[in-house]
Chain A
Amino acid sequence: MSAPLLNVEHLSTHFKTADGPVKAVDDNSFTLEEGEVLGIVGESGSGKSTLLRSVMGLIEDPGEIVDGRIEYRDRDLTTMSDAALRELRGNEISFVFQEPTAHLNPAYTVGDQITDVLAAHTDLSSEAQWERVYELLGRLGIPSPEERAESYPHEFSGGMAQRVCIAMALACEPELLLADEPTSALDVTIQAQIIDLLTELQEDLGLSMVWVTHDMGVVAETCDSMAVMYAGNVVEYGRVDAVFDDPKHPYTEALLRTVPSHLDTAPRFDTIEGSPPDLQDLPDGCVFQERCPEAMEACRTGRPPYYEVGGDSAWLSKCVLHEGKPTRPASPSAPDADANPSATLADSQTDGGKPTGEGDR
């Protein structure tokens, strides 16, 4: 197995405050293979966007990546120089954000803004840049791109502006696209269009994507794998179909139950009792313990590690229900990556001792 495109290891991003750190992202690991689409889901404030911004290196004071590694093509982004990071950003790793109109500079026409990306990262001539602009805008379904390129951002609707933002993100043919709730500021019909467009582009261009959303439907429709976040922790990570079929973390299970379906006849939606913990004062042990129907004594002693609930590191759950199963190896991309999983498997079997059946509910 070749090294994954993106490998995030034990990433923790904290925001310093006078009353101690706010642990917006706390010890998270996930991997993204080439051409894969990963969905990150979770409720508001669960750290999805912070996680994504950490990957881009766009965490601003007082935030700080306090621990962990972000490996992109075997290069650690957390220790990379600013200049080297700038080379990557917008060029190999691109971003699409929420609220497209706010992300466009009101002082320039959209054509100027797209050529700006090209000017920053390529040596294309001015004519070639404009050709590319028209091509991109056309590809993104903007009618009469030559005219629209001369328009200012405020002359675009939300959906059209998002298309422009996507055009900017794709201008330098990136490998990895990070999308932070790209559709949540848009009308429902436009959302569907943008989702279809991104899916189509992802397939055509062979993009790898990380898609942050709180819409389970989007995940089910567009993603290959998913990471479920709760209170700054990715509590479950796995293939979308597997996780939807048989969630291995009580939070995922509860979250999936709350997704309304048109087949529902119940008068009320399912909800999860309680509210998320204070990120400044996370409980010892599992972050979900206070709302978890399965909570037990073990949940309160120490944060659970990632258990390999599917037999390998492709399906992980941070829940003590799976205690006894092997835990995720420290770094799958480390030189002895192939040897590692079996080693930890053997280790945990000898000292874990518990039968694995208990975890499979």
Chain B
Amino acid sequence: MSQESADATVTERPRQSRAVAGATRVWRIVSANSLSLVGFCIVLSLVFVAVFAPVLAPYEPSAQQLDNTLAPPSADHPFGTDNTGRDILSRIIFGTRYAIAIAVVVVTLETVVGVSLGLVAGYYRGKVDETVMRGLDVLVSLPPLLLAMVIVTTFGINIWNAMLAIGIVYIPMMSRTVRSSALSIREETYVQAAEGLGYDSKRVMLKHILPNSVPPIVVLGTTDVAYALIDVATLSFLGLGIQPPKPSWGAMANAAREYILVTPWPIVFPTLAIAIAVLGFNLLGMGLRETLLYGEDYDEVVE
């Protein structure tokens, strides 16, 4: 083999194999623990349902059959119909889209802002740390759902404000987690070595401290998706989240509340959907916690 072709394979191969290696790494971490494996499967099927909702749903989510309201489960309507004769299964399937999208947006917001604040506080320590963390303490001292409701009612009832509100409520938790791991990682010798190599604070924070605090961020982020699902459902239930006629699990449960004495099905299935989704993300989070945070050498455990 000539020298040139050897060089070519060397520079090509690692780049390409990194994506594959990354995917296998994720799979190894997830499958290392049965909790996270089950959770991962639930999450994966939720995503599948959300993506293929139009294919999977037997009816249009807002198609009404006024001659067939509050029907119990049947072959035509496996989950029954609601008070305007809409197919509950179809609405739950489409509701998955909103639930997942909102939870992901909330956690992304929480992560971006929370991680930045936590990193800065943990890296600079002293006055910066005090200022940031005391500011967040003020946020924590308010009841989260109440704060979210205040934000939504102040800035207008729509889905973006609901996501913003819940995201803000979650920021302190993420910041605290990242700060505490940044505080300990900044004392690691490799971070001091990085300072010794003349790296500026941005490079030290983003390339040396952040990548090594990823495990707690992943764990917290995953469990927070579950909490976000509940909170979005709660806001929707209270009429402050997703507005009808958009199919949202929380709003469906709220609408069915009035008919609970007539038929339980319209409230059972949406809440069941919430429960399963929350369970999925919680299991995934718990499993990842065990693998990433408590199993020191998860690579060894797996291999």
Contact = CB atoms under 8 A, between A and B. Distances in A.
A108 B188 CA distance: 15
B194 A105 contact: yes
Contacts of B199: 86, 90, 116, 120
Given A107-B211, A107-B212, A168-B197, A102 B14 contact: no
A91 B198 contact: yes
Given A105-B208, A108-B211, A85 B189 contact: no
B198 A90 contact: yes
B196 A90 contact: yes
Taking residues whose C-beta sits less than 8 angstroms from the other chain, chain B's interface range is 20 to 34
A106 B189 contact: no
A229 B136 CA distance: 48
B5 interface: no
A146 B10 contact: yes
A112 to B, nearest CB: 9
A87 B197 CA distance: 9
B193 A89 contact: no
Contacts of B7: 146
A58 interface: yes
Contacts of B60: none
Contacts of B211: 105, 107-108
Contacts of B203: 116, 120
A97 B198 contact: no
Given A116-B203, A120-B203, A130-B11, A106 B190 contact: yes
A139 interface: no
A195 to B, nearest CB: 21
Contact of A99 (B14, B189, B207): B189
State the main secondary structure of chain A at its contact with B: helix
A146 B7 CA distance: 9
B298 to A, nearest CB: 12
Given A105-B212, A107-B211, A150-B14, A120 B193 contact: no
A148 B193 CA distance: 21
B190 A102 contact: yes
B198 A86 contact: yes
Contacts of A91: 198
Contact of A89 (B11, B189, B198, B212): B198
Contacts of A87: 198
Contacts of B200: 83, 86, 120
Contacts of A150: 14
A176 B117 CA distance: 37
A3 interface: no
B108 interface: no
B195 interface: yes
30 contacts: A56-B196, A58-B192, A58-B196, A83-B200, A85-B198, A86-B198, A86-B199, A86-B200, A89-B196, A90-B196, A91-B198, A95-B196, A95-B197, A97-B189, A97-B193, A99-B189, A102-B189, A102-B190, A103-B189, A103-B193, A105-B190, A105-B208, A106-B212, A107-B208, A108-B207, A108-B211, A116-B207, A120-B199, A121-B198, A165-B193
